[in-house]
Structure 1
């Protein structure tokens, strides 16, 4: 019969010391699109656990500064802001370089920035298509390309791409968004394979509908496109796909995110994690 043996140095009856896997002290995270919504929730999750954060995103400058200052003071960690335009690859790369220069390292990269436009394909504006592909997909490439040398030099890194249930399935009137998010999943797999022996992982989180500013705008756009009320959009369009009939919460996304950036998530690589209330199980 197998006999358990006591590890040397552990007193009889004493519990071995357990390191908090969610301890991010000393780590630095860059999170695009993090002045509101999902990105801000993930930034807060990092800061609460002792990690420094570089915020990025749009909004009123005074409100962004208030958010940055509040996060820094309440969590006691460095919080910076970089105003990179996600449509411009050189600015995205500069955001990553800024983190290394200002905070000394880069451990976590979250490609989260995203926009949406709802319209039938034959009426879809060309400029909106180009903008969505640039922000939702190409920015992930530019940020990741800039981050890889830094992470390789450190011997560890975690890249998390915020995709969508629309990276796995489609919906009408969202051609650019669906195309971009499918692209994010393909990009995630390729990066994971290339870095598999460098102790750098790359995974994607695929949320269902989360109550964020981008979704609030979609409700109005869908009402206009479909010719129905906002209440009908919420009931019959937005939440119709989610069996739970409720929004995914940002705390629920933070849970899987913290797993992926921890040591426990080291063998999760090139994977997409559906956090969608059962949407893509149908």
Structure 2
């Protein structure tokens, strides 16, 4: 049975990934900072409270997984949306809070997972980035910078760990239906003096398929990339977004 760790896995995309891997008969480990959401996870999942940006907490979880038999698949998924504001109004503390979870968190979990996978001579690391990591994102500079950084981290990890039989890829969701995106829509609407529906329609209009994606679509990509069917796919940033052609919903 493959052992899979998903950070930020108690809700949204992470929750969908956990459910998809559980359906594949994997042993699912989930970390999150929300105790209530963790309590709502299936009893068959191994859940742990852990802040993705706290090195001690992440090291402890990885150590526990190692003692349980090792780690086959890592989904470095934890992230936060960060502030919605033009660059000159972004506070340094808000910048650091966003990049700490979204970028530092990906680094930390990969750092501690690497020795387990190297010892096994195999493994898959999947990093949740965003289409913001290839296009930029007006009024979301901390988030975009962190997601660009995640792609650079992934490509470097793929080069370092490839000789040890370990693959690394990044998944780039576009606009994903759900509570988190609703918070983004409301924040952008307030920042731009637009209605929530106008921002939503702007996002959809900038996608070739004219629709948002579902968290399950992203999870399906994760399961595929973790499978032997993707055994020659590494170092890639793969969008699951319906083909974003204009990332700025204002236009």
TM-score by length of 1: 0.83
Q: Where do 5+ consecutive residues of structure 2 fail to align?
A: none
Residue number in structure 2 paired with 1:42: 17
Partner of 1:29: 4
Q: TM-score, normalised by structure 2?
A: 0.93
1:95 pairs with 2:54: no
- Asked whether the equivalents of residues 84 and 94 of structure 1 are also in contact (C-alpha less than 8 Å), the reply is no
Say if 1:168 and 1:280, in contact at 8 Å, map to a contact too.
no
Structure 2 CA distance for aligned equivalents of residues 280 and 38 of structure 1: 22
Match of 1:67 in 2: 41
Q: State the match for 2:232 in structure 1.
A: 267
Q: Secondary structure at the residue paired with 1:196?
A: helix
2:110 is matched with which residue?
Answer: 144
Q: 1:135 aligns with which of 101, 105, 111?
A: 101
User: Which string of whole-angstrom CA distances, capped at 9 and with x for unpartnered residues, describes residues 105-154 of structure 1?
Assistant: 11010011111121111111221100111111011111111011101111
Counterpart in the other structure of 1:18: none
1:254 CA displacement: 2.2
How far 1:87 moved relative to its partner? 2.2
Q: Give 1:104's aligned residue.
A: 69
Q: Which secondary structure does the structure 2 equivalent of 1:54 belong to?
A: strand
Which structure's CA Rg is the greater one?
1
After superposing on structure 2, the runs of 4+ consecutive aligned residues of structure 1 that deviate more than 6 Å are none
Cα distance per residue 1:23-80 (max 9 Å; x no partner)? xxx1111100111110000101111111111111233x344223232xx2xxxxxx11
Specify the alignment match of 1:81 in structure 2. Answer: 47
* Structure 2 contact 87–141 (Cα < 8 Å) conserved: yes
| Cα distance, 1:255 vs structure 2 | 2.2
Unaligned runs of 5+ in 1: 1-25, 73-78
CA distance in 2 between partners of 1:280 and 1:242 (Å): 6
Q: CA deviation at 1:251?
A: 2.3
Q: CA RMSD in A?
A: 1.5
- CA-CA distance at 1:247 after TM superposition: 1.2
Is the 2:126–2:169 Cα contact (8 Å) retained in structure 1?
A: yes
Partner of 1:245: 210
Q: How many correspondences in the alignment?
A: 246
CA contact (8 A) 2:79 2:102 kept: yes
**Residue by residue, what CA displacement relative to the aligned partner does 1:188-217 show, whole Å, maximum 9, x if unpaired?**
110001111111000001111111332111
